[in-house]
Amino acid sequence: MWKACCSAFARSMAAAALAALLSVSAAAAEPSFPCTGNLTPTEKAICADDGLAALDRALATAFTSKVDGVPGEKTHSDDDDRDAIVITQKAWIAHRNECGADKACIRKAYAVRTGALTAGPNTPDTACRDTVGAKQAAVYVKQCLQVATETHPPCNADNTCELMISHNIDRCAFLGDHVPKFCAAFSHPDAQH
């Protein structure tokens, strides 16, 4: 009887220890954003998973490094424009959140965006449709065509989102008072990661 009693007690203690370990593990996940308040299902999944939280921290570091690495003056010729990077990041977050709690989808979204942010000069560009999804990429292409001159080289979802957005920002500024309504969104994008 003592053996049965102690064996049951030991099993119950082991179960309690495992439950405590699992709750500590979930609570230990520390992404770049606070795991409190009104979280999306994707954010809840990230907060509950150490691996996803680590991916989020790595992406936040890559984002900050990319933005901080842009010269103070706009380049007007490529995707190294702070505003374009910030706008793309916001669109990427919306695209990532479409994953819901699907951890494989979330991992893939982080891999694509981190790869785009850390790509070297000889690395192929990440297509806008892969970064923010086909629907949002189509919006950027449509906007690009609305403000483009007679040639439309940047207006293609195979280009980076930053390239199209940078083009749109420059063209919106150039058009003065005759700009489409969407140009107002390019005035003061807030950094978000």
C-alpha to C-alpha distances, 54 to 24, 28, 61, 83, 107, nearest whole angstrom = 16, 11, 11, 26, 11
Q: Is the pLDDT of residue 25 over 80?
A: no
C-alpha to C-alpha distances, 125 to 45, 161, 164, nearest whole angstrom = 29, 10, 13
pLDDT at position 28: 52
Band the pLDDT of 188: cuts 50, 70, 90: low
Q: What would the pLDDT profile of 128-157 be if each residue is shown by its tens digit?
A: 999 999 999 999 999 988 888 666 678 999
More confident residue, 98 or 25: 98
pLDDT at position 170: 84
Q: What would the pLDDT profile of 159-186 be if each residue is shown by its tens digit?
A: 999 999 988 888 888 887 778 888 887 7
Tokens, residue 177: 């008072």
| Total-model pTM | 0.76
pLDDT at position 131: 95
Tokens, residue 186: 């390019």
Residue ranges per structural domain of the chain: 39-186
Q: What would the pLDDT profile of 58-96 be if each residue is shown by its tens digit?
A: 999 999 999 998 877 654 445 568 889 999 999 999 999
C-alpha count within 13 angstroms, C-beta hemisphere, residue 129: 8
- Core vs surface per residue 101-117: b (16+ CB within 10 A) or e: eebeebeebbebbbebb
Find which of 16-25, 40-49, 64-73 is predicted with most confidence, using mean pLDDT: 40-49
